[in-house]
Amino acid sequence: MTTSSPSRASMRCPSRFRRWRRSLMSRRRQNRRGPSTQEVAMKRMHVGLVVEDVAASVAFYTDLFGTPPTLQRSDYAKWMLDDPRVNFSINSRGSAPGKLHLGIQAEDESELSELRERWEGTGGETEDKNALTCGYQTQNKTWVRDPEGVRWEAFHTFAVTETYGKSESSDYEDV
């Protein structure tokens, strides 16, 4: 890093010298920390959990997160949280309570495309679904399993629907 020297005028004026020194120290601190994380747009993490009693779980998670669900039906609820940046959903369909899956919500189709390419490179078997109605929303998505069998989904939501939805048979769609 090139460091400029204070000018003679700033050396004669203590307030100018202090401003120059503060600016220099700020740049040095920034270089040690690396790029600001606030400048990087992050995708949204997704956690989907099967529950037995949606109403009781909605009450619990509303208190836990300090905010009501952004989408709620009798068998489903979703919170779009900003701190932490998570799409957290619960439902009472399909599997035994406690079963969950993890995912990453893409903001648009280009982000989903990038995730699909990356996930295909993992060596895990992937499955793409487009225009799928799932969790009262229409989505394009990709599923993959990690080496331990944990399911991950990458998805982009582009519409809200009045039906929960169910895809054609797939072992990825049981949560």
- More reliable by pLDDT, 6 or 110: 110
More confident residue, 11 or 131: 131
In-domain check, residue 172: no
Q: Is residue 30 domain-shared with residue 87, that is, in the same domain? A: no
Question: Looking at residue 37, what is its pLDDT?
Answer: 47
Confidence class for position 76, pLDDT limits 50, 70, 90: very high
CA torsion, ordered 154, 169, 72, 98, to nearest 10 deg? -80
Rounded to the nearest integer, the mean pLDDT of the chain is 81
Could you tell me if 31 and 109 lie in one domain?
no
CB 158 within 8 Å of CB 112: no
What's the confidence (pLDDT) of residue 29? Answer: 58
Confidence of residue 1 (pLDDT cuts 50, 70, 90): very low
Q: pTM of the full predicted structure? A: 0.64
Based on the domain organization, do 32 and 105 belong to the same domain?
A: no
Q: What is the CATH number of the domain that holds 76?
A: 3.10.180.10
Q: Is residue 47 part of a domain?
A: yes
In a domain, 168, yes or no: no
Is the domain of 18 the same as that of 50? no
Pair 54, 19 in one domain? no
Residue 58 placed within a domain: yes
What is the count of structural domains for the chain? 2
Q: 15 or 75: which carries more pLDDT confidence?
A: 75
CB-based burial, 115-126: b 16+ in 10 Å, e otherwise: bbeebeeeeeeb
153 vs 46: CA distance, rounded Å: 8
**Beta strand extents in 23-136 (DSSP E only):** 44-50, 71-73, 76-82, 85-91, 100-105, 126-134
How confident is the model at residue 93, as a pLDDT?
Answer: 86
Q: Could you tell me if 76 and 135 lie in one domain?
A: yes
The domain of 27 spans 8-36
